Structure 1
Amino acid sequence: LEHHRKIGSEEDPDLHRYQRYPVSAVSLKRKAVRDIMGKTTWNYFRIVFNANKILYLDNANKTRFSLRQLVKRFHAPITVNLILLTGLAALGMPLLYLLWVVSYFSFYMFFSRIRNLAEHAAVPDLLNDDPLMNTRTTIPSWWERLTVAPNSVCYHLEHHLVPSVPKYRLAGFHRALIKRGVLDSADISIGYVQLVRKLIVAPT
């Protein structure tokens, strides 16, 4: 991936997501409100739709929606969601599908933002090519594993050190690196609450 090859440099395609951190508490709260209120999701859809020509201008310069392009570009997620909805309907619980929709337009984006920022924002040296300097691992609490960081995604430093390690082995890999002292100088946060404090500029 381009991000993996160019992390620690100004050519990192994801640099714009975290290079301005830490930010003020007001700024971070404003972003959180946008996430939880659904604005981030709508903006994401607009960008994706425009990039994939799902929204286009017709000859009269009016914005049109292309169902054909939508199905063509996103047949996999559309299929998965149809299977999910059909399965829930077969169980007599079709309205349960709305739980996924509501979460995607609210806390899903908020948790994704915090998780993504935890990986590279406000690290010791973002433009250093050493992963120990430009990448962070966050050790989550039990409730954070259920919300912010499922499936061992919290072990991002370990992932950058050896990308071939499967997710289900990252925790063990982390313990092995700790035991050998490899992570002695690494940026490791204990919990995402502690991590959020690192993302905020201390008041003067």
Structure 2
Amino acid sequence: MHAAPAPDHDSAERRVNLTRYLSPDEIAQVRARSTWRGIGMIAHCWATIAAMMALVAMFPNPLTIVLAIMVIGSRQLGLAILMHEGAHGGLAVDGKLNLWLSQWLCAYPVGAETLAYRRYHLQHHAHAQTERDPDLPLSAPFPTTRASLRRKLLRDLSGRTGLKQRLAQLRGAAGTAGTAGMPVGERRATFLARLGRPLLVNAIMLAALAAAGFWWLYPLLWLLPLLTWFQAVTRIRNIAEHSVLPAGDAWRVARTTRAGWIERALLAPYWVNYHAEHHMMASVPCYRLARLHQLLQAKGLDARLEIKPGYLAMLRVAAPQR
């Protein structure tokens, strides 16, 4: 049986006010933002991508290619996570710089857009695990069978999910909604307004690799990871964050999953695994979520959270039957 979502009128009551449990100094400590930390995370993400591309360029073989696809796909998820951080204003103290970093260095490279995402995502925070939660369809199918989960992950890893989503994105940008009867020039302008900047950033990436003599790295180590590993780890992350949670429990609208270094490298970059803490205080930048977790733990409040010891343990809960 799936856990039924709580009625929407409960949403305000289902938020935990951590100011009742943490001192003003502790709250100020975890809410403190650093522009240099934000820039550093973005630089780390792109440096990892560049390093894996350089590895394959120097030693092109099946082992390095598969490793690079996995690592780069996880860093593409990292860019999406850092876009999410920008949507919450956590990449820089200055709002304009925060948005620029989030858009041009995080969102556009993976075909996303921060402002559109922010509008959608704030509804998720306002109505998490209720009937008005726009992310509810991501968690509602669980628990499911292991066979069903395997089919979903195989679709992701084969590229079927990614191709379907990208084609839908292109059709939506070219769209029929609101563009029927428009002159060709206006329809072109509408398309460019919706997808022009992501396409520009990707064209720059391709041109830079081509200028270096490695154009083939773009389809092999950017598009292929984006259509495969990125899709699979995004699904696993979505399952971990909100699936199979008790309805009506303000402390358990989201889950924290403990992650070792391999999981952080391939599944859960940039502290995304501390999702329960994020939902309790969304103004805390991602690099301080571990500290928030420690504060809650020191006060004995971690026992009230939904915490799993690892992603494999979490998947066993999401897919308990064969």
* Short-chain TM bin: 0.7 to 0.9
Tell me what 2:94 maps to: none
Tell me what 1:163 maps to: 282
Alignment of 1:17-166 (within 5 A): 17-52=138-173, 54-56=174-176, 68-98=189-219, 99-123=221-245, 125=246, 127-128=247-248, 130=250, 132-166=251-285
Tell me what 1:175 maps to: 294
Q: Give the TM-score of the pair, scaled to structure 2.
A: 0.56
Task: Say which SS state the counterpart of residue 302 (structure 2) adopts.
Answer: coil
Task: Say which SS state the counterpart of residue 216 (structure 2) adopts.
Answer: helix
CA distance in 2, matches of 1:180, 1:137: 17
Deviates more, 1:139-148 or 1:107-116: 139-148
Deviates more, 1:193-202 or 1:107-116: 193-202
Deviates more, 1:90-99 or 1:132-141: 90-99
Q: Does the 8 Å CA contact 1:119/1:137 hold for their aligned counterparts?
A: yes
Tell me what 1:186 maps to: 305
Tell me what 1:62 maps to: none
93 and 111 in structure 1: CA distance in 2 versus 1, 3 angstrom threshold: same
Q: Give the TM-score of the pair, scaled to structure 1.
A: 0.85
The structure richer in strand per residue is 1
CA distance in 2, matches of 1:36, 1:8: 28
Match of 2:232, as an amino acid?
A: F
CA distance in 1, matches of 2:249, 2:204: 43
Match of 1:109, as an amino acid?
A: Q
CA distance in 2, matches of 1:20, 1:55: 29
Match of 1:139, as an amino acid?
A: R
Q: Does the 8 Å CA contact 1:137/1:187 hold for their aligned counterparts?
A: yes
CA distance in 2, matches of 1:108, 1:183: 30
Task: Say which SS state the counterpart of residue 188 (structure 1) adopts.
Answer: strand
Match of 2:278, as an amino acid?
A: H
56 and 195 in structure 1: CA distance in 2 versus 1, 3 angstrom threshold: same
Match of 1:157, as an amino acid?
A: A
- Which 4+ runs in 1 deviate beyond 3 A? 49-52, 55-59, 66-70
Q: Does the 8 Å CA contact 1:7/1:129 hold for their aligned counterparts?
A: no
Task: Say which SS state the counterpart of residue 257 (structure 2) adopts.
Answer: strand
- Which ranges in structure 1 are unaligned for 5 or more consecutive residues? 60-65
- Which ranges in structure 2 are unaligned for 5 or more consecutive residues? 1-121, 181-186
Percent sequence identity is 35
Match of 1:107, as an amino acid?
A: W
- What value does the CA root-mean-square deviation take over the aligned residues? 2.2
168 and 79 in structure 1: CA distance in 2 versus 1, 3 angstrom threshold: farther
Match of 2:133, as an amino acid?
A: D
